[in-house]
């Protein structure tokens, strides 16, 4: 049975905020039951998913959800809700697997958010933004700076999961390149068909059907 998902961004934001509220109500016992711990990737694999919806502080939650709210709809409008779920959850999952070998514990949606941004860098590289809310630049330049800062953080740790960030971004970049190549193949395949217009092509790329 094929599930038709119409919207991905808002449900993810709502669920993540609700989970943070549960963290605030039940405290460390709730967080500890669902965060990712070193070695649990082999014995309690479900933590790879649940850890994505936990956050360590209100600011941690704010920045991740702000990025998801601002950039998520842009990517979702280009690739559709189903593919958005794939890149978001897939990037977060792989980022958590990798980070589990480097950190004693991990939580947060940062790996998933960076995966989203990585895909958007490939598909909309010239999108303008304010880096750190101040400096205007295209998204691809911001991506290089984010990667550089996280790479610096790997060698000079500050308590941030920089490796998870880099792993998530790498997943998003790879998925974005795969989608871009698929679009090129699709364009070549149907360019000679007069009944195929731009809307048909965009609909196919979003949903996989015409």
Q: Kindly report, residue by residue over 40-63, the tens digit of the pLDDT.
A: 777 888 999 999 999 999 999 999
Q: Is 6 helix (H, G, I), strand (E, B) or coil?
A: coil
When mean pLDDT is compared across 26-30, 90-94, 150-154, the lowest value belongs to 150-154
CB 116 within 8 A of CB 71: yes
Q: Once rounded to an integer, what is the mean pLDDT over residues 107-122?
A: 95
Q: pLDDT by residue (tens digit) across 141-193?
A: 999 999 999 998 888 777 778 899 999 999 999 999 998 887 766 656 555 55
Q: What is the largest CA-CA distance in the chain?
A: 61
Which residues, in sequence order, are CB contacts of 115 under 8 Å at separation 6+? Answer: 87, 88, 90, 91, 92, 95, 168, 169, 171, 172, 175
Boundaries of domain holding 72: 9-207
Above 80 in pLDDT, residue 22? Answer: yes
Query: Residue 152 falls within a domain, yes or no?
Result: yes
CA distance 116 to 3: 21
CB 88 within 8 A of CB 112: yes
Above 50 in pLDDT, residue 80? Answer: yes
Query: Residue 4 falls within a domain, yes or no?
Result: no
Query: Residue 198 falls within a domain, yes or no?
Result: yes
Domain count, the chain: 1
Query: Residue 1 falls within a domain, yes or no?
Result: no
The radius of gyration of the chain from alpha carbons, rounded to an integer in Å, stands at: 18
Query: Residue 3 falls within a domain, yes or no?
Result: no
**What is the reported pLDDT for 50?**
94
Query: Residue 148 falls within a domain, yes or no?
Result: yes
The CA distances from residue 114 to 2, 59, 108, 145, in Å, are 28, 17, 11, 13
Based on the number of CB atoms within 10 Å of its own CB, is 185 exposed (0-12), middle (13-18) or buried (19 or more)? exposed
CA distance 8 to 30: 25
Above 80 in pLDDT, residue 207? Answer: no
Residue bearing tokens 């007069």: 194
Task: Give me the CATH number covering residue 178.
Answer: 1.20.1540.10
Residue bearing tokens 């009944």: 195
Query: Residue 86 falls within a domain, yes or no?
Result: yes
């Amino acid at each position: 049975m094929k599930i038709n998902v119409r919207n991905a961004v808002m449900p993810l934001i709502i669920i993540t905020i609700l989970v943070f509220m549960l963290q605030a109500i039940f405290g460390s016992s709730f967080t500890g039951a669902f965060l990712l711990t070193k070695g649990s990737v082999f014995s309690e694999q479900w933590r790879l998913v649940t850890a994505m919806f936990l956050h360590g502080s209100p600011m941690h939650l704010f920045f991740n959800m702000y990025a998801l709210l601002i950039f998520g709809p842009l990517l979702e409008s280009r690739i559709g809700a189903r593919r958005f779920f794939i890149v978001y959850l897939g990037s977060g999952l792989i980022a958590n697997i990798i980070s589990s070998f480097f950190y004693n514990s991990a939580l947060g949606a940062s790996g998933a958010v960076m995966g989203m941004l990585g895909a958007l860098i490939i598909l909309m590289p010239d999108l303008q933004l304010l880096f750190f809310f101040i400096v205007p630049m295209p998204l691809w330049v911001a991506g290089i700076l984010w990667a550089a800062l996280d790479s610096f953080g790997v060698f000079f740790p500050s308590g941030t999961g920089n490796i998870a960030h880099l792993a998530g971004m790498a997943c998003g970049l790879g998925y974005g390149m795969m989608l871009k190549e698929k679009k090129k193949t699709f364009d070549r395949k149907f360019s000679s068909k007069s009944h195929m217009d731009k809307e048909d092509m965009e609909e196919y790329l979003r949903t996989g059907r015409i």
